[in-house]
Structure 1
Amino acid sequence: MSSVAPLILEPAQPASACVIWLHGLGADRYDFQPVAEALQRVLPGVRFVLPQAPTRPVTLNGGWSMPSWYDIVALEPERALDLAQLEDSASRVLELIEAQRASGIPAERIFLAGFSQGGAVVLHAAFRRWAGALGGVLALSTYAPAFEPGQTLGAIQQAHPVLCLHGSEDAVVDPALGRRAHDWLAERGVAVEWRSYPMGHEVGNAEIRDIALWLSERLAA
């Protein structure tokens, strides 16, 4: 995995909750720093941990090296990818969860968030790898490449609330793929919500406001 240390944004007051936020393909740990800083202004006490993916060749992009949580080999069938690299990235997320627990943050107040490829990793970490409690999952403009039809979830995983957010005009990750991940979770009893926005493969102000409200409600609970 990446040898680059995560960017950690401490709140103005002692941290009582944490959001671990993964960037998308080709971005870096600074990509969501402005969003995290904006959220901290309305979410006092929330630490943001922004890890960086390792730089590696991406087959779909002509073999060029860039920050990537896993290699994408082809778009069909539905983004053929390097599952071992997906597993490695999910393992890194679990390590970050454990580090936050060791720092005194309860698992119930640790949230996972990810955009695009980063969202695929946090969904995989939360529902295929992590067996403990979580505050919830934010899945932005993403999909779930390793969710399997026959998979079941335990009661603890079913209790992870999820907010799926997607641009209706997304030409990079088809909204239908995001909706499929939402439906897979809903069919297994997860409290999952779907929000659609008139935008492409991006993050907008209305989306950030919805994220702030969703996090506020769960932190208050």
Structure 2
Amino acid sequence: MSGRSRRMTLPSLAGRIDPIFKPATKPTSDPAHSAAFIFLHGLGDDAEGLENIADQFQKNDKVSWMSWVIPNAVEDRDAMTTAWYSPSLLTPFAPSRPELEEEEDEKGLVKSAAYVESLIDACVKKGIPPNRIVLGGFSQGCALSLFTDLTSKKYSGRLAGIVGLCGYLPLAGGARLQHLRAVADLPPTHGDVAIFLARGKGDSLIPKRIWNMTLKGLEAFDATSIEEHEYDGGHTISGPMLRGKVES
């Protein structure tokens, strides 16, 4: 019964499958003492692809006061699959000239970030403070989480933390992120929001060059509260990655 009382009203949009919502297994009496994790899937996946991870946490009584919000991306006509934005080619080697670097889908990122903001709004409306809301994701979901955290006029620098698995920072190579922050009246530096980043050592979809650009890009915003790890494996979520286990 208490689980039903903790359900929140999440945005329902035409053309987008509604998010999966998993209420806290042991909800607190005061929503301000609860928490929420908004978990974004990767390219070509959907919310059901990540639901098992939430189930594992809840089954093992981990962070039982936390609710899970797992949204769905829409179908991307160019990519012909579900995507938060149109993907660009992430190559292991930099092109001979910077202008040859494939252009990223800034418009798609901005649109999806606005949707993520609406999910955060729903959590806040339910009484969960922004500093008890974690935003994270896998692959494109990681990229969108970092982008939202850096550019959201409402929530940049206010969330509990960012979890990025096997992903990267979009628009890391230029000045567009700083421009978007300036347009949103955000300061040039990021703040103290904790960021956990992890990748597989053999991840060919997010090459080491892109990983290094991500770290350098975040450093440019003075994002000092970064914990980053590389694990055995490829472009997949592993047990040690979920546990945050440090591997040598």
* Bin for the TM-score computed over the shorter chain: 0.7 to 0.9
Q: Matched residue of 1:139: which SS?
A: strand
Is the CA contact 1:74–1:80 (under 8 Å) kept in the aligned structure 2?
A: no
Alignment of 1:158-197 (within 5 A): 158-190=191-223, 191-197=225-231
Separation (CA, whole Å) in 2 of partners of 1:131 and 1:36: 27
- Partner residue in 2 for 1:10: 23
- CA gap of 1:105–1:156, structure 2 versus 1, over 3 A, is farther
- CA gap of 1:130–1:193, structure 2 versus 1, over 3 A, is farther
Per-residue CA deviations over 1:87-109 (Å, capped at 9, x if unaligned) read 11111111111110001100000
Is the CA contact 1:166–1:175 (under 8 Å) kept in the aligned structure 2?
A: no
Separation (CA, whole Å) in 1 of partners of 2:189 and 2:68: 24
User: Is the aligned partner of 1:67 residue 2:82?
Assistant: yes
Separation (CA, whole Å) in 2 of partners of 1:155 and 1:79: 26
Separation (CA, whole Å) in 2 of partners of 1:80 and 1:87: 15
Paired residue total: 207
TM-score (normalizing by structure 1):
0.84
Q: Matched residue of 1:147: which SS?
A: coil
User: Is the aligned partner of 1:202 residue 2:217?
Assistant: no
Separation (CA, whole Å) in 2 of partners of 1:161 and 1:192: 6
- Partner residue in 1 for 2:40: 22
Q: Matched residue of 2:48: which SS?
A: coil
- CA gap of 1:39–1:120, structure 2 versus 1, over 3 A, is same
User: Which segments of 5 or more consecutive residues in structure 2 lack a partner in the other structure?
Assistant: 1-12, 29-33, 92-99
- Partner residue in 1 for 2:122: 99
Q: CA deviation at 1:5?
A: 0.8
TM-score (normalizing by structure 2):
0.76
- CA gap of 1:118–1:79, structure 2 versus 1, over 3 A, is farther
Match of 1:57 among 77, 82, 86: 77
- CA gap of 1:79–1:51, structure 2 versus 1, over 3 A, is farther
Per-residue CA deviations over 1:161-216 (Å, capped at 9, x if unaligned) read 101101110011113312321232234322111110011000000011118x9xxx
